[in-house]
Amino acid sequence: MRPPSLFLIATALTVSSCTDRSNPETEAESPVFTVIDTDFSKGRLGYEQSIDLGDLEKFHGHLCDGLVVGALAMQEAAKTLFPEGPIDRTNLRSVSKPSPCLTDVAVYVTGGRYQFGTFYVDTGFAGEYILQRLDNGTAISVGLNPGVKPSAIDSLGAIAVRGELSPCGIDSLRAMEDAFTDFLLSADPSEIFTVHTLSDFAWEANLKKDYVKSDVVNKALQPCSR
């Protein structure tokens, strides 16, 4: 299946985050996230920017279902942590599951970086991300609800990561993931993600760095010749 166009994606994401649906062209250009940072290398907080799915795609390298899961998860988390306005990237730290797609969304959107004690990767929690505001300590987890993601994507994906999926099988997996992406972008994120407040979260940054970068393992695969 052909991947959905960025225009359609931007429109769909914007619709899910914008109440003004009167102008489709404006909607397509509307931000997915508004973030706030300092205004120069030693500056004060106050510089606002918008980040959309196209920005995430450029940073990550491609559009994929994992990127959209991450973006929508962040959108839901931001509603809880920053209900009053922009995501303050100076006031946030995050823990991500190790997926290359999820981690890229996390560091881009939250501004968290391992070397500054504001980001690490872990597998020992439920959901996609844990996010914590630094000023008040509020910690939340956000995760896709059980059963939302087709199980075949994970089972075929595991075979693909082992390098054991055929070229035509890889194309079938891509079609499944693209269809899931379309579904995600047409869904109401509040109905497919759940945010939990974590009352006893402990920041325990680890230095584990042997996760498989699963989106490059098949980069030399032959085309499907069926």
Are 73 and 79 in contact, with CB atoms under 8 Å apart?
no
Q: Compute the least distance from the CB of residue 102 to Zn ion, in Å.
A: 9
Q: What one-character-per-residue DSSP string does 65-76 give?
A: HHHHHHHHHHHH
Torsion sign across C-alpha atoms 111, 117, 123, 126: negative
Each as own residue / partner, the long-range contacts of residues 197-201 (CB below 8 Å, 24 or more positions apart, any chain) are: 197/80, 197/138, 197/139, 197/140, 198/130, 198/139, 198/140, 198/141, 201/130, 201/132, 201/139
Q: Compute the least distance from the CB of residue 38 to Zn ion, in Å.
A: 29
Q: Compute the least distance from the CB of residue 61 to Zn ion, in Å.
A: 7
User: Is the Cβ of residue 64 or residue 195 nearer to Zn ion in the bound state?
Assistant: 64
Q: Compute the least distance from the CB of residue 62 to Zn ion, in Å.
A: 6
What's the distance, CA 144 to chain centroid?
Answer: 11
Two structure tokens written together for 4: 């959905």
Q: Compute the least distance from the CB of residue 112 to Zn ion, in Å.
A: 19
User: Is the Cβ of residue 56 or residue 139 nearer to Zn ion in the bound state?
Assistant: 56
User: Is the Cβ of residue 2 or residue 226 nearer to Zn ion in the bound state?
Assistant: 2
Binding interface with Zn ion (CB under 5 A): 64, 66, 101, 215
Q: Compute the least distance from the CB of residue 60 to Zn ion, in Å.
A: 6
User: Is the Cβ of residue 32 or residue 36 nearer to Zn ion in the bound state?
Assistant: 32
Task: Name the CA radius of gyration of the chain, rounded.
Answer: 18
Q: Compute the least distance from the CB of residue 65 to Zn ion, in Å.
A: 8
Q: Residue 72: which of 155, 187, 171, 207 has the closest Cα?
A: 187
User: Is the Cβ of residue 67 or residue 87 nearer to Zn ion in the bound state?
Assistant: 67
User: Is the Cβ of residue 67 or residue 81 nearer to Zn ion in the bound state?
Assistant: 67
Residues 140, 142: Cα–Cα separation, whole Å? 7
- 81 phi, psi to nearest 5 deg: -85, -30
User: Is the Cβ of residue 31 or residue 66 nearer to Zn ion in the bound state?
Assistant: 66
Q: Residue 137: which of 194, 81, 210 has the closest Cα?
A: 81
